[in-house]
């Protein structure tokens, strides 16, 4: 019998936490109209308006001053070149091109947990939890929290900042061979854009790509502008899906990964973080997640060493055509390995010598028991323990009820299943059956401390809590 301790912690959505981001109207004429009306306000009335904003909104005044200046920069090119403005004038203008977005006002769920990169407290394990946040427009983002676990498995989480800040964004350089492969895989490589890519150097920047696209429009005399635009926009979107983010704040709860590319326009879903140990023993954190643009999904990957700077890249190849990828925490026999659900029903295992390209996949496990009869999948990256690879799974059963299960894979050959729960590890109770999405218990990652499984999980796709479970009792129940 598995004894489970459910902790009283409840991480709930909050409309108080907001992302401060630019507001740029879609029509250029509206920008001009806003500027005209703003400049009609007498100069002696502008500073009091700014001061009232600093006092009313829960953002440090000095940070708001910086943000308003930054957001003024986005529309500065619309201003007359001979106009002299003070910094307060610029902040006043910038305030009209700034908005707050309550990115977790609706739901906060599907947690993933990893050890913190900084372990500077004796007797406790620091951790980072990532969460899927849903706000206005049903758009998903990735938010972060910090916490600690002591030797007695007491869990505490730090208080969140009320404000989240936008990062600086930079585009990657692209390798032509990989870029061409991904464009072909997505079905966006055409007779119009293929010559353009073929003519690029082996490594090129977004600026270089933009220049040749502009030239293609200027020199076009053979096809309609609409056809050319559709073809080129697809290539632009692919390029824009590979970029880096750098956050200006040292407080991790003031950071969030918000949709920042065409592929992510409708959200980033269910990040599965893993602390990955490289062959030279250096540590890097990866997270697989699903980008959604309202029509199609695109598997993507986050990389970071400090949770302050993030690199985002597309995942490529026929093996990553579905949701729910989860990377093993180290290479096995020289290959990266990952779990997935290629047929939307069963659990598969993949391997590749390239972190960004996945072609080879094999079935690992099919739905068997009533609580997983509709589908099974992983609930985060495999956890390496002495006995093998511990995988937390999810199963979908009657009334589309999501429950958590577990299995154990052979450490040397993860294609071998050496242990499996026949009954759910965790399933919704009567009190947990209602929510934003009813009848759902779900997680995107757990970890083991000593011989205890630390399991954050979401209830009803609304709130997140924690359970701790004896690893030895779990393994005893998993014997085949």
Closest to 314 (Cα-Cα) out of 150, 172, 447: 172
Which pLDDT tens digit goes with each residue over 413-461?
999 999 999 999 999 999 999 988 999 999 999 999 999 999 999 999 9
Alpha carbon 25 to its chain centroid, in Å, reads: 26
Q: Say what the pLDDT of residue 165 is.
A: 92
Claim to verify: residue 270 and residue 370 sit in the same structural domain: yes
Confidence band for 410, pLDDT divided at 50, 70 and 90 = very high
The phi-psi region of residue 460 (left if phi > 0; otherwise alpha if psi is between -120 and 50; otherwise beta) is: left
Question: What average pLDDT is seen over the chain?
Answer: 94
For residues 409 and 415, what is the distance between their CA atoms, to the nearest angstrom? Answer: 7
Residues 71 and 194 in one domain: no
Rg over alpha carbons for the chain, rounded to the nearest Å, is 24
Q: Cα 357 vs. chain centroid, distance in angstroms?
A: 19
335 in the same domain as 192: no
Q: What is the CATH number of the domain that holds 361?
A: 2.115.10.20
Rounded to whole angstroms, how far apart are CA atoms 187 and 140? 26
Of 98, 118, 151, the one marking the end of a domain is 98
Q: Are residues 84 and 222 located together in one domain of the fold?
A: no
pLDDT of residue 352: 96
Burial of 279 (0-12, 13-18, 19+ CB in 10 A): exposed
Are both 366 and 408 inside the same structural domain? Answer: yes
227 and 301 in a common domain:
no
Tokens coding 428: 């919704």
Same domain membership, residue 203 and residue 236: yes
Half-sphere exposure (CA, 13 Å, Cβ side) for 231?
A: 20
Query: In this structure, what are the phi and psi dihedrals at residue 479, rounded to the nearest 5 degrees?
Result: -60, 135
Q: In this predicted model, what pLDDT tens digit does every residue of 126-147 receive, in sequence order?
A: 999 999 999 988 999 999 999 9
**E strand or H helix at 65:** helix 61-75
Contacts 24+ apart (CB under 8 A), 21-28: 21/98, 21/99, 21/100, 21/101, 21/166, 21/258, 22/71, 22/74, 22/97, 22/98, 22/99, 22/166, 23/71, 23/96, 23/97, 23/98, 23/99, 24/74, 24/75, 24/97, 28/78
Say yes or no: 89 and 179 in one domain: no
Task: Please count the other Cβ atoms lying within 10 Å of the Cβ belonging to residue 76.
Answer: 13
Neighbours of 190 (CB within 10 A): 17
Pair 370, 397: CB distance under 8 Å: yes
pLDDT at 298 over 90: no
pTM: 0.92
> ∠280-281-284 over CA atoms, to 5°?
105
The tokens for 44 are 């002696």
Question: Is it the case that residue 356 has pLDDT exceeding 80?
Answer: yes
Task: Answer for the pair 466, 410: CB distance below 8 angstroms, yes or no.
Answer: no
For the chain, what is the domain count? 3
Indicate if the pLDDT at residue 480 is higher than 80. Answer: no
Model confidence at 181, pLDDT cuts 50, 70, 90, reads: confident
Task: Give the three-state DSSP class for 257.
Answer: strand
Q: Which of 193, 218, 240 is the last residue of a domain?
A: 240
Clarify whether residues 82 and 221 are in a common domain: no
- Joined together, the tokens standing for residue 52 give 């009232």
Same domain for 431 and 391? yes
Assess whether 54 and 81 both reside in one domain: yes
pLDDT digits (tens, 9 = 90+) for 223-259: 888 898 989 998 998 999 999 999 999 999 999 999 9
Q: Which domain holds residue 205?
A: 173-240
Assign 268 to helix, strand or coil.
strand
Last residue of a domain, one of 240, 260, 278: 240
In this structure, the dihedral spanned by the alpha carbons of residues 208, 210, 213 and 215, taken in order and rounded to 10 degrees, is: -70
Q: Which residue has the higher pLDDT, 27 or 274?
A: 274
Cα separation, 211 vs 214, whole angstroms: 5
Residues 198 and 344 in one domain: no
DSSP line for 231-256: HHHHHHHHHHTSEEEE-S-S-GGG-E
Which residue bears the tokens 């429009």? 217
pLDDT above 70: percentage of residues in the chain? 100
Alpha-carbon gap, residue 207 to 190, rounded angstroms: 21
The pLDDT score that the predictor gives to residue 26 is: 83
**Residue found by looking up tokens 């009813």 in the block:** 438
- Residue-level pLDDT at 44: 93
């Amino acid at each position: 019998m598995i004894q489970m301790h459910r902790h009283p912690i409840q991480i709930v959505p909050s409309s108080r936490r907001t992302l401060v981001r630019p507001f740029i109207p879609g029509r250029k004429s509206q920008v001009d109209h806003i500027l005209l009306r703003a400049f009609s306000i007498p100069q002696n009335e502008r500073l009091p308006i700014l001061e009232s904003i600093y006092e009313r909104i829960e953002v440090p005044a000095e940070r708001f001053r910086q943000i308003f200046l930054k957001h003024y920069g986005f529309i500065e090119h619309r201003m007359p070149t001979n106009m002299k403005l003070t910094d307060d004038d610029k902040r006043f203008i910038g305030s009209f091109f700034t908005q707050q977005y309550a990115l977790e006002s609706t739901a906060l769920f599907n947690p993933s947990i990893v050890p913190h990169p900084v372990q500077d407290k004796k007797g406790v394990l620091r951790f980072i939890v990532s969460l899927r946040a849903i706000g206005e427009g049903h758009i998903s983002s990735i938010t972060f929290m910090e916490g600690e676990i002591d030797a007695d498995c007491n869990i505490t989480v730090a208080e969140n900042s009320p404000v989240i800040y936008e990062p600086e964004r930079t585009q990657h350089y692209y390798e032509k061979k990989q870029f061409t492969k991904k464009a072909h895989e997505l079905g966006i490589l055409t007779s119009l854009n293929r010559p353009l890519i073929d003519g690029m150097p082996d490594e090129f920047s977004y600026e270089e790509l933009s220049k040749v696209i502009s030239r293609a429009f200027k020199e076009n005399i053979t096809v309609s502008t609409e056809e050319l635009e559709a073809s080129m926009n697809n290539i632009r979107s692919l390029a824009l899906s590979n970029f880096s983010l750098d956050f200006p704040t040292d407080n991790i709860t003031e950071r969030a990964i918000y949709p920042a590319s065409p592929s992510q326009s409708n959200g980033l879903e269910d990040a599965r973080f893993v602390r990955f140990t490289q062959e030279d023993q250096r540590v890097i954190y990866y997270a697989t997640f699903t980008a959604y643009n309202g029509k199609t999904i695109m598997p993507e990957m986050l990389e970071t060493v400090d949770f302050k700077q993030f690199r985002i890249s597309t995942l490529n190849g026929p093996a990553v055509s579905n949701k729910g990828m989860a990377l093993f925490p180290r290479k096995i026999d020289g290959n990266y390995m990952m779990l997935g659900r290629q047929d939307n029903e069963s659990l598969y295992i993949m391997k590749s010598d390239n972190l960004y390209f996945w072609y080879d996949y094999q079935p690992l496990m099919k739905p068997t028991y009533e609580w997983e009869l509709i589908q099974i999948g992983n609930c985060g990256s495999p956890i390496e323990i002495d006995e093998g690879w511990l995988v937390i799974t999810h199963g979908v059963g009657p009334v589309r009820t999501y429950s958590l299960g577990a299995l154990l894979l052979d450490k040397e050959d993860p294609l071998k299943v050496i242990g499996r729960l026949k009954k759910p590890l965790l399933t919704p109770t009567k009190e947990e059956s209602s929510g934003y999405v009813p009848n759902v218990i779900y997680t995107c990652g757990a970890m083991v401390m000593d011989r205890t499984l630390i399991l954050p999980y979401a209830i009803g796709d609304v709130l997140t809590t924690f359970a701790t479970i004896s690893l030895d009792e779990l393994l005893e129940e998993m014997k085949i």
